[in-house]
Amino acid sequence: MTPSPDTTYRERTATFSAEEARLGRISLRYSVVRGILFTGLALSLLAILLQAAEAGAGLWLLAGGWLLVFLLILPWHDRVIRRQRRAAALRSLNEEGLRRMARSWEDLPDLAAPPEKAGDHRARDLDLFGRASLLQLLGTAWTPAGRSRLAGWLLRPAPPAEITLRQEAVRELAAEIDLRQQIEVRTRPLATAADLGPFLRWAEDEPRLLGRRGWVWLTRLAPPVTVGLLLAPLFTPFPLFPGLLAITFNFLLTHRHGERLEATFHQIEARDREFRAYAEAIEVAGAGRFRAAALRNIGAALTCAGRPAHAWMDRLDTLIGLADARRNAILRLPLSLLLLWDFQALLWLESWQRAVGRQARGWIEALGELEALSALAGLHHDNPEWAFPTVSPDEDRLAATALGHPLIPAGRRVGNDVELGPRGSFLLVTGSNMSGKSTLLRAVGLNAVLAQAGGPVA
DSSP, collapsed to helix, strand or coil, labels residue 349 as helix
Res 192: pLDDT: 84
- The pLDDT of residue 119 is 67
In this predicted structure, what is the pLDDT of residue 63? 86
- For residue 321, the Cα-to-chain-centroid distance in whole angstroms is 17
> Which amino acid type is present at position 137?
L
What is the pLDDT, as a whole number, of residue 328? 85
Domain ranges of the chain: 5-101, 197-375, 398-453
Cis peptide before 239 (omega within 30 of 0): no
Q: Cα(63)–Cα(231) distance, rounded to whole angstroms?
A: 33
- Asked if residue 97 has pLDDT above 90, the reply is yes
Give the residue-averaged pLDDT of 173-201.
93
Give the count of beta carbons closer than 10 Å to the beta carbon of residue 49: 9
Cα–Cα distances (Å) from 151 to 139, 248, 368, 427, 435, in that order, read: 11, 55, 11, 28, 31
> Cα separations (Å) of 193 from 57, 282, 360, 456?
52, 16, 16, 30
Strand, helix or coil for residue 285: helix
The residue-averaged pLDDT of 118-134 equals 84
- Strand partners for 403: 416
pLDDT of residue 55: 62
Q: Would strands 307-308 and 303-304 be described as parallel, antiparallel, or unpaired?
A: antiparallel
- Does the pTM surpass 0.75? The reply is yes
Smallest Cα–Cα separation from 284: which of 161, 398, 426, 187?
Answer: 187
pLDDT at position 338 over 70: yes
DSSP codes of every residue in 62-77: HHHHHHHHHHHHHHHH
In 3D space, the residue among 205, 225, 169 whose CA is nearest the CA of residue 358 turns out to be: 205
Q: How does pLDDT run across 261-286, given as a tens digit for each residue? A: 898 898 887 665 789 999 999 999 99
Per-residue pLDDT, 329: 83
Nearest to 325 by CA among 265, 276, 249: 265
Residue 15 confidence (pLDDT): 98
pLDDT at 118: 66
Most confident by average pLDDT, 2-6, 24-28, 115-119, 131-135: 24-28
In this prediction, residue 438 carries a pLDDT of: 86
**What pLDDT shows up at residue 52?**
65
Percent of the chain with pLDDT over 70: 97
- Please state, in angstroms and rounded to a whole number, the distance separating the CA atoms of residues 442 and 59: 78
pLDDT at 135 over 70: yes
pLDDT band at residue 101 using 50, 70 and 90 as cut-offs: very high
pLDDT for 434 beyond 80: no
Amino acid at 383: N
Phi-psi region of 431 (alpha: psi -120 to 50; beta: other; left: phi over 0): left
Task: Please write the tens of the pLDDT for every residue from 362-398.
Answer: 999 999 999 999 999 999 999 999 999 998 888 788 8
The one-letter code for the residue type at 262 is: E
Please name every residue paired with 387 in a beta bridge, in sequence order, or none if there are none: 457
| Res 403 pLDDT > 70 | yes
The whole-chain average pLDDT of the chain stands at: 91
> Of 118, 122, 120, 104, which is closest to residue 446 (Cα–Cα)?
122
Mean pLDDT of 195-218: 90
Alpha carbon of 345 to those of 55, 176, 220, 319, 355: distances in Å? 44, 41, 11, 7, 16
- For residues 431 and 401, which has the higher predicted lDDT (pLDDT)? 401
Give the separation between CA 188 and CA 193, rounded to whole angstroms. Answer: 10
Beta strands of 193-248 (E only): which ranges? none
Say if residue 411's pLDDT is above 90.
Answer: no
Residue with the larger pLDDT of the pair 325 and 93: 93
Taking the CA of residue 165 as centre, how many other CA atoms within 13 Å lie in the half-sphere pointing to its CB?
A: 13
Q: Helices 274-286 and 177-187: crossing angle, nearest 10°? A: 170
